[in-house]
């Protein structure tokens, strides 16, 4: 590294952006200037990063002048419009929206799994995976390298913050509303107490909602197909079979997944535990005798992918069941973006 | 039916017992005397059933004198000791504990699936399945009759009341504690705020816990093996392959399950929906375009098994993914027990 590249954080005021500023303040200081960019509505706001007070500037083509690397955490349509503009002005874009993830000319990168892919970026754009895929993919990559993955059956336990700051605010508000009522018991009608559902399609406090994203083919949701398509692209397994059911749960931050993973080779519970224990970015907590396994409450605010409840199927010699947790705002979003950006920064 | 049989409700003061009294008050009145039995600690307590005030009597051999049918909802060890005593005094026992479920001489019955089995009761005992199995098995039975089930991969979203009244009370208490804190966000430490976990191994409010039951072989829990073994016995498929991951969620009542079901025959989404729609005991709510699917908040306090999110696998012609909800205190416990007892009552 001969010079410190300049960095733009686009979407600095959102739920992921807020975590990003914290991450940038705590990781090795590899950047020169850091510029915060957001919508015109947030321009002028002051935020702290690396102990500096920074003033948010409005998104415009000129906002990217002199920027080497631009992280985007904004809605798909904003990325679709603005990532190419940033790239055309010379920035390498690391985009956390869904706009480019399945674009053949845009690599989809998880540094612990396929770091080599960052070089293949003809559009100057690198995509960051969806938070649900990211919450399990480091563990799946480690096991795939050992056993060769053929199929995944996944059920998710997704946190409210996967739907952004509005998701966090709405769950907090609903929890307060139900705390002193009998909602959720047989006599309680949560729809009578909870009026504001937005951004969810049903009450989330004291409930679970089998829905995330929008409706796609055969009744699957966009979120469920992201788990399928993105896992295939990141792991480089074109014909990986994936069935996912995505469910929102009343947790603020940290996605969990129950994973049923089918491999080509015969598995061993002890060797799988060993593989996970020795892999970068993974924390194995698997001592069921002493009730030790990861839960979102233990994982929130941490960097690794946490894995527990590793079991070898009683019916199949080549199948593992496991439970995985990842902070969806950190490894599931901001941290992975920061890791990709650091790989790019190392080129300077 | 020539006479109305007398009924004993053993464990009348527990979470399931309370629901049972409500169910007995609302269903067809097929019983003569109803006698409420509980531990000596609860004896003398007055409870209402069928608009009558009944006084709870202490569990003793004589408490079963003159009783034709005895429903048990008590811990395994109490059932193990007392169900044979009740049977030896002439009562047909319908037991909701785990004590006899896998006993070859005790049928495990779900009236919509295997009602004929109630006749095969050499010990005078009929078992009621575990609540997690029961929350999905009516739907699985209907699809099995049509497509022949070969394998289940299940992830559960289990309510606090599955752990009894203590589970309900603890979750309510924890929800109040976290309602006005920042617990669950990156800065919040729920273990600092929540001191009472009992009966759970971790905080449940704003969390999920991948644990239910006790540790059994290969790292699976007793609850996960119950789903496996009981599904095999109820459906009469000795070699049914089952992988389950059981997870507790901060819902008070109603278990949900994400089910990946592998059949012998090729499936169709529309026909599967039709089969479910036309089956007794099932309510199909599957209109994803309009965000219609079952959630615990909609299901609590109702009798049917609710099914939604029916999808045909994109990778396998013989696989369905679906989401199932059932009130674990009703169909998952008291209602199924009541239904079995009514089948027995029809013999009188």
Chain center to CA of A221? 17
pLDDT of residue A143: 98
B chain contacts of residue A170, beta-carbon cutoff 8 Å: none
Flag whether pLDDT at A1 surpasses 60.
no
Tell the residue number behind the tokens 């300077």, with chain if given. Answer: A348
d(CA A240, nearest CA chain B) in Å: 9
Of the candidates A215, A218, A247, which has its C-beta nearest B258's C-beta?
A: A247
B chain contacts of residue A228, beta-carbon cutoff 8 Å: 314
- Percent of chain B scoring above 90 in pLDDT: 92
User: What average pLDDT is seen over chain A?
Assistant: 95
Token pair of B282, please?
């099932």
Of the candidates B208, B258, B286, which has its C-beta nearest A295's C-beta?
A: B208
Residue A171 φ/ψ, nearest 5 degrees: -65, -45
User: B49, B144, B246, B255: which one is catalytic?
Assistant: B255
pLDDT of residue A183: 78
B chain contacts of residue A288, beta-carbon cutoff 8 Å: 211, 215, 219, 221
Token pair of B280, please?
């007794």
pLDDT of residue B186: 64
The answer to whether A293 contacts B251, with C-beta atoms less than 8 Å apart, is: no
The answer to whether B314 contacts A175, with C-beta atoms less than 8 Å apart, is: no
B chain contacts of residue A202, beta-carbon cutoff 8 Å: 291, 295, 297-298
Tell the residue number behind the tokens 């029961």, with chain if given. Answer: B134
The answer to whether B207 contacts A241, with C-beta atoms less than 8 Å apart, is: no
B136 contacts B251 by C-beta, under 8 angstroms: no
Around A233, how many Cα atoms within 13 Å sit in the side-chain half-sphere?
Answer: 24
Residue A67 neighbours by CB under 8 Å, 6+ apart:
A6, A7, A8, A35, A86, A89, A90, A91
* Eight-state DSSP code of residue A6: P
Q: Examine the residue annotation and report whether B131 is marked as an active-site residue of this protein.
A: yes
Q: What average pLDDT does range A161-173 have in this prediction?
A: 93
User: A49, A144, A246, A255: which one is catalytic?
Assistant: A255
Of the candidates A153, A201, A323, which has its C-beta nearest B210's C-beta?
A: A323
pLDDT of residue A181: 82
Residue A171 neighbours by CB under 8 Å, 6+ apart:
A160, A204, A205, A250, A252
Closest CA to A327 of A63, A22, A48, A106: A22
Residue B188 pLDDT class (50, 70, 90 cuts) = low
Nearest CA in chain B to A193: B297
In order of A76, A168, A169, B246, B316, the CA distances from A198 in angstroms are: 19, 11, 10, 29, 35
B324 contacts B139 by C-beta, under 8 angstroms: yes
Flag whether pLDDT at A41 surpasses 60.
yes
* pLDDT tens-digit series, residues B328-340: 999 989 999 999 9
Interface test with A, best of B136, B151, B159, B249 (most A CBs within 10 A): B249
**Listed range (A328-337, B190-199, B212-221) with the worst mean pLDDT:** B190-199
A178 contacts B175 by C-beta, under 8 angstroms: yes
B chain contacts of residue A174, beta-carbon cutoff 8 Å: none
* pLDDT tens-digit series, residues A82-114: 999 999 999 999 999 999 999 999 999 999 999
Q: What average pLDDT does range A254-263 have in this prediction?
A: 98
Q: What average pLDDT does range B57-85 have in this prediction?
A: 97
CB atoms within 10 A of CB B64: 24
Flag whether pLDDT at A188 surpasses 90.
no
pLDDT of residue B147: 98
The answer to whether A256 contacts B209, with C-beta atoms less than 8 Å apart, is: no
Token pair of A163, please?
């739907």
Nearest CA in chain A to B329: A186
The answer to whether B312 contacts A207, with C-beta atoms less than 8 Å apart, is: no
Closest CA to B161 of B118, B204, B221, B220: B204
Token pair of B62, please?
């004589």
* Eight-state DSSP code of residue B64: G
Nearest CA in chain B to A204: B297
The answer to whether B210 contacts A293, with C-beta atoms less than 8 Å apart, is: yes
Determine the Cα–Cα distance for residues B293 and B301; give it in Å rounded to an integer: 17
Chain center to CA of A3? 30
- Sheet containing A34-38: order of strands: A57-58, A34-38, A7-10, A69-72, A92-95, A125-127
The answer to whether A184 contacts B252, with C-beta atoms less than 8 Å apart, is: yes
Which pTM does this prediction carry? 0.95
Residue A186 pLDDT class (50, 70, 90 cuts) = low
Q: How many Å is the Cα radius of gyration of chain B? A: 20
pLDDT of residue B317: 98
Flag whether pLDDT at B177 surpasses 80.
yes
The answer to whether B247 contacts A260, with C-beta atoms less than 8 Å apart, is: no
Token pair of A85, please?
């503009």
The answer to whether B314 contacts A258, with C-beta atoms less than 8 Å apart, is: no
Q: What average pLDDT does range B51-71 have in this prediction?
A: 97
Residue B253 neighbours by CB under 8 Å, 6+ apart:
A184, A185, A186, B159, B160, B161, B168, B296, B300, B301, B327, B328, B329
Q: Examine the residue annotation and report whether B255 is marked as an active-site residue of this protein.
A: yes
The answer to whether A247 contacts B19, with C-beta atoms less than 8 Å apart, is: no
Residue A185 pLDDT class (50, 70, 90 cuts) = confident
Interface test with A, best of B152, B186, B285 (most A CBs within 10 A): B186
User: A131, A144, A246, A325: which one is catalytic?
Assistant: A131
Interface test with A, best of B170, B184, B290, B326 (most A CBs within 10 A): B184
d(CA A251, nearest CA chain B) in Å: 4
Sign, CA dihedral B324-B327-B329-B334, equals negative
Q: What average pLDDT does range B170-194 have in this prediction?
A: 83
Interface test with A, best of B300, B306, B320 (most A CBs within 10 A): B300
Nearest CA in chain A to B225: A314
Closest CA to A184 of B300, B109, B175: B300
Collapsing DSSP states into helix, strand and coil, what is residue B66?
A: coil
A4 contacts A347 by C-beta, under 8 angstroms: no
Q: For A276-321, give the DSSP string.
A: HHTSTTEEE--BGGGTB---HHHHTT--SEEEEEEEE-SS-TTEEE
B chain contacts of residue A297, beta-carbon cutoff 8 Å: 184, 190-191, 202-203, 206-207
Flag whether pLDDT at B1 surpasses 60.
no
Token pair of B67, please?
């009783």
Token pair of B191, please?
């273990």
Of the candidates B201, B314, B327, which has its C-beta nearest A291's C-beta?
A: B201
Residue A125 pLDDT class (50, 70, 90 cuts) = very high
Residue A217 pLDDT class (50, 70, 90 cuts) = very high
Closest CA to A136 of A149, A123, A124: A149
Flag whether pLDDT at B184 surpasses 80.
no
Determine the Cα–Cα distance for residues A190 and A206; give it in Å rounded to an integer: 9
Q: What average pLDDT does range A187-200 have in this prediction?
A: 84
The answer to whether A153 contacts B153, with C-beta atoms less than 8 Å apart, is: yes
- Sheet containing B282-284: order of strands: B241-245, B149-157, B255-263, B319-326, B305-312, B282-284
Tell the residue number behind the tokens 């059994």, with chain if given. Answer: B216
Residue B113 pLDDT class (50, 70, 90 cuts) = very high
Interface test with A, best of B295, B320, B322 (most A CBs within 10 A): B295
């Amino acid at each position: 590294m001969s010079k410190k590249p300049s960095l733009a954080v686009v979407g600095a005021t959102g739920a992921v952006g807020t975590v990003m500023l914290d991450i940038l303040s705590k990781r090795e200081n590899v950047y020169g200037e850091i510029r915060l960019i957001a919508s015109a509505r947030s321009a002028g706001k002051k935020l702290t990063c690396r102990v500096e007070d920074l003033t948010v500037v409005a998104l415009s083509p000129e906002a990217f002048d002199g920027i080497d690397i631009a992280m985007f955490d904004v809605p798909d349509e904003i990325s679709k419009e603005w990532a190419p503009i940033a790239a055309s002005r010379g920035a390498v874009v690391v985009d956390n929206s869904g706009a480019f993830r399945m674009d053949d000319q845009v690599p989809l990168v998880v540094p612990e799994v396929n770091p080599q892919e960052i070089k293949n970026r003809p559009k100057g754009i690198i995509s960051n995976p969806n938070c649900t895929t990211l919450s399990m993919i480091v563990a799946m990559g480690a096991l795939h390298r050992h056993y060769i993955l053929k199929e995944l059956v996944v059920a998710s336990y997704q946190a409210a913050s996967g739907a952004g700051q509005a998701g966090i605010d709405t769950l907090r508000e609903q929890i307060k509303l139900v705390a002193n009522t009998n909602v959720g018991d047989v006599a309680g009608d949560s729809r009578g107490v909870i009026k504001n559902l937005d951004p969810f399609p049903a009450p989330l406090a004291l409930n679970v909602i089998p829905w995330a994203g929008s409706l796609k083919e055969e009744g699957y949701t966009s979120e469920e197909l992201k788990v399928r398509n993105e896992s295939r692209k990141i792991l480089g397994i074109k014909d990986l079979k994936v069935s996912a059911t995505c469910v929102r749960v009343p947790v603020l931050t940290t996605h969990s997944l129950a994973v049923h993973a089918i491999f080509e080779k015969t598995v061993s519970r002890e060797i799988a535990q060993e593989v996970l224990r020795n892999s970068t970015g993974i924390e194995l907590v698997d001592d069921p005798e002493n009730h030790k396994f990861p839960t979102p409450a233990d994982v929130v605010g941490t960097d690794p992918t946490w894995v527990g409840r590793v079991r070898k199927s009683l019916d199949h010699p080549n199948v593992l069941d496991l439970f995985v947790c990842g902070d969806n705002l950190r490894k599931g979003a901001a941290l992975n973006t920061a890791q990709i950006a650091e790989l790019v920064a190392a080129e300077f």
